[in-house]
Amino acid sequence: MHVVFRHSKPLPVLKYGGIERLLFWMMKDLVKLGCRVTLIGHPGSKVGEIGVELIPENKGPWQDLVPGGADIIQLFYPTHENLPKPTIFYICGNAKPGEVLPLNTVFASESHARNHSSKCFVHHGVDFDSYPTGQLVNSDRWKKFAFLAKASWKIKNLDSCIRAVKVAKAELYIGGGRGWSFSRNIHWLGMLDDAEQMKLFQKTDAFLWPVRWPEPFGLAPVVAMSYGLPVLASQHGSSRELVDDPGVGLVCESFSKFVEAIQSKPDFYSSKQIQEYAREKFKLRHMTNKFLDLYKRVVAGESLNAAQPLSSFREPSDKVLLPF
């Protein structure tokens, strides 16, 4: 099968980019499965080394660059433009209030799909081979905690992490931004590449994920679990799908429960068991195989949704802080 992707920014990325990482991983794995993969994108993208053909995007319509022999296009954003080939739209964010999405839209989690009147979803898969391997965390420790997200984005809820570790007299290591604190127990690390993320996870005892919005999917907690860290999450978004086994983390219904978990370690699996859970449940090949099945359905003329998915949000989902 010949699959075409389109992305306007350089690939691969090092210190950011959930969508960019997913796209790069998917292309690489599709090539491994024998597919022909073409990227219409930034001329600076370095994808030839993973077997992907690059068609540099010019100033004209990118649709004109789609090879005639292609079977399907996959985009990571919605569009109602007339495209030259059957198309799948993998949406990694929430639609705007009242926004109607294309029939062949795929969402990142069950909760994400439900928020858009759909049942069609595929969990993100992670290319764990792209992350450095290292020693697992000490399962018995419970003093140092990790946060990894865009620190300035209030919906990621760094504020609750800082408040909770102060109450618990614990330490917090923050990846994803710069800041300052009068406390010696709050450590700002800035933006981190994969090797630096590994060091963060190796020196901490659990990962904090108290998001306050309908998060479509969280890559960061999955990567943290792949290094053996349990996850302490809020009840919002896809948290219950990521942490669907009490042995790998805890979904906290309130800030007080979050503080309690930080103060006194819940009963979790060993670091190795948590790692095995993450690396099996969210392996890249699971995602790739599911998309190959969807490709075949769409190429055969089937629609992935009975009706066009519609956002259920009355306000922008990233502008209203959910209770915690």
Residue 24 lies in a domain: yes
CATH code: domain of residue 74: 3.40.50.2000
User: Could you tell me if 138 and 277 lie in one domain?
Assistant: yes
pLDDT per residue over 231-245, tens digit each? 999 999 999 999 999
Q: Which two tokens stand for residue 291?
A: 């998309």
* 39/76 same-domain check: yes
Does the pLDDT of residue 222 top 90, yes or no?
A: yes
pLDDT-based confidence at 138, cuts 50/70/90?
A: low
**What are the tokens at 114?**
């439900």
**What are the distances in angstroms from CA 201 to CA 13, 87, 241?**
20, 38, 21
Are residues 154 and 100 both part of a single domain? Answer: no
Q: Which residue has the tokens 């969807």?
A: 294
Would you say residue 250 lies in a domain?
yes
Residue 202 tokens read as 């190796």
Structure confidence at residue 194 (pLDDT): 83
Same domain, 81 and 159: no
Are residues 148 and 43 part of one domain? no
- Are residue 114 and residue 158 in the same domain, yes or no? no
Number of domains in the chain: 2
Q: Are residues 269 and 175 in the same domain?
A: yes
- What is the mean predicted confidence (pLDDT) over 11-34? 91
**How far is the C-alpha of 91 from the C-alpha of 211, rounded, in Å?**
19
Residue 18 pLDDT exceeds 90 = no
Are residues 82 and 46 part of one domain?
yes
Query: Which DSSP state fits 130?
Result: G
The pTM score is: 0.95
- Let me know whether 34 and 119 are in one domain: yes
Considering the domain architecture, whether residues 178 and 257 belong to the same structural domain is answered as yes
Provide the residue range defining the domain that includes 48. 2-125+286-299
The verdict on residue 189 lying in a domain is: yes
The pair of three-digit structure tokens given for residue 268, joined into one six-digit string: 């979790």
Q: In a 3-state reduction of DSSP, which class is residue 154? A: helix
Average of pLDDT values for 242-265? 97
Q: For the residues 257-286, what does the mean pLDDT come to?
A: 96
- Per-chain mean pLDDT for the chain: 94
- CA distances from residue 162 to 176, 188, 256 in whole angstroms, order as listed: 14, 11, 13
The answer to whether 192 and 175 have CB atoms below 8 angstroms apart is yes
The single residue listed with the structure tokens 């095995």 is 276
* Runs of H (alpha helix) within 126-193: 158-168
- Other C-beta atoms closer than 10 Å to the C-beta of 202 total 17
In a domain, 194, yes or no: yes
Q: Looking at the structure, do residues 259 and 142 belong to the same domain, yes or no?
A: yes
Q: Are residues 109 and 152 in the same domain?
A: no
Mean pLDDT lowest among 57-61, 63-67, 108-112: 57-61
> pLDDT category, 292, cuts 50, 70, 90?
very high
In a domain, 239, yes or no: yes
203 within a domain of the structure (yes/no): yes
- For residue 77, being part of any structural domain is answered with yes
Report the pLDDT averaged over residues 175-199.
88
Q: Which of 114, 91, 127, 123 is nearest to 290 (CA)?
A: 123
Q: Is residue 314 part of a domain?
A: no
